Amino acid sequence: MDEKKNIVITYETLFEVLRKEKSREEIQKLEASFADDVRSYFFERRALLAKQNPEDTFGASEKEKIERQISNAKKILRELYDRREKKIVLMAINKSRAKGTLVDSSALLPNEKSFFEEITALLDRQREAGLLPLISEKFDSAEAKELKRDGVANNTSDLKESPSEAASSDKSLLIKFVEPVPKFVGPNLEIYGPYNPEDTASLPEEIASILINKNCAEQV
């Protein structure tokens, strides 16, 4: 849309907005008044529709034209919303995956910006609850009790490494990351990361194997 203070929405301008949104990968900037302008458009169309005389041939034809414009305008707005919604979700995924990466949200409408921030926060919480415990191999108290009940760790000797295991834990693997991995804590409380795709790192074999099995990295 053109940069103007007073944007008058018409069927043609709505069609042009959708055309730009469909043809470009990045989300398109809309005027902050876009929603109000659309409401004004429908109000004006409805008011004009109410003035038409259905008994008059010209009025009946004009009424049909206006109703068709209203119906098509709603179809355009639905497709526009769906396309922008998809782009916003992808923006949130990218921001959540690559911590510290700046994502330009200046093109979003106020309600879209709130949606973007909520989705990003939800993805962050899910990543922290779902991915980080797997990578760091941390167990909550319920999981620890379950392991003890199953006899995985009946005494402290079960948790000690044998000489061969201790030696193998010193081995490192050189890996290349294919997915962003946020900062995490290793089994011995070492802090690793964050890592971005294409980053390489030499990590303990145990940690490297977990990352490889989770398809977060591949061995170099």
Question: Which residue has better confidence, 20 or 54?
Answer: 20
CA–CA distance, 178 with 195 (Å, rounded to integer): 9
Q: What is the full DSSP assignment across 158-177? A: GGSPPHHHHHHHT-EEEEEE
* pLDDT tens string 28-77: 999 888 999 999 999 999 998 888 776 666 667 888 888 999 999 999 99
SS3 content of the chain, % helix, strand, coil (to 5): 55, 10, 35
CA–CA distance, 191 with 185 (Å, rounded to integer): 5
> Would you kindly state where each structural domain of the chain is located, as residue ranges?
11-130, 138-219
Specify the pLDDT at position 115. Answer: 93
Q: Could you give the dihedral angle defined by the CA atoms of residues 11, 16, 19 and 20, in that order, rounded to the nearest 10 degrees?
A: -150
- Region of poorest pLDDT, from 46-60, 144-158, 182-196: 144-158
Taking residues 22-30, what's their average pLDDT? Answer: 93
* pLDDT tens string 97-125: 887 677 888 999 999 999 999 998 998 88
Fold (CATH) for 11-130: Methane Monooxygenase Hydroxylase; Chain G, domain 1 (1.20.58)
Q: State percent of the chain over pLDDT 70.
A: 77
pTM of the model: 0.55
Helix (H) or strand (E) holding 191: strand 191-192
The answer, yes or no, to whether residue 158 has pLDDT greater than 50, is no
Specify the pLDDT at position 89. Answer: 93
Of the CATH numbers 3.40.50.11610, 3.40.718.10, 2.102.10.10, 3.40.5.50, which one belongs to the domain with range 138-219? 3.40.5.50
Specify the pLDDT at position 64. Answer: 87
CA–CA distance, 153 with 162 (Å, rounded to integer): 15
Give the CA angle between residues 122, 128, 131 to the nearest 5°.
115
Specify the pLDDT at position 84. Answer: 95
The answer, yes or no, to whether residue 162 has pLDDT greater than 80, is no
The total of other beta-carbon atoms located within 10 Å of residue 107's CB is 15
Spell out the residues 6+ positions from residue 125 whose beta carbon is closer than 8 angstroms to its own. Answer: none
Summary count for the chain: helices (H), strands (E): 8, 5
Question: Which residue has better confidence, 212 or 51?
Answer: 212
CA-closest candidate to residue 179, choices 134, 147, 121: 134
Spell out the residues 6+ positions from residue 59 whose beta carbon is closer than 8 angstroms to its own. Answer: 52, 53
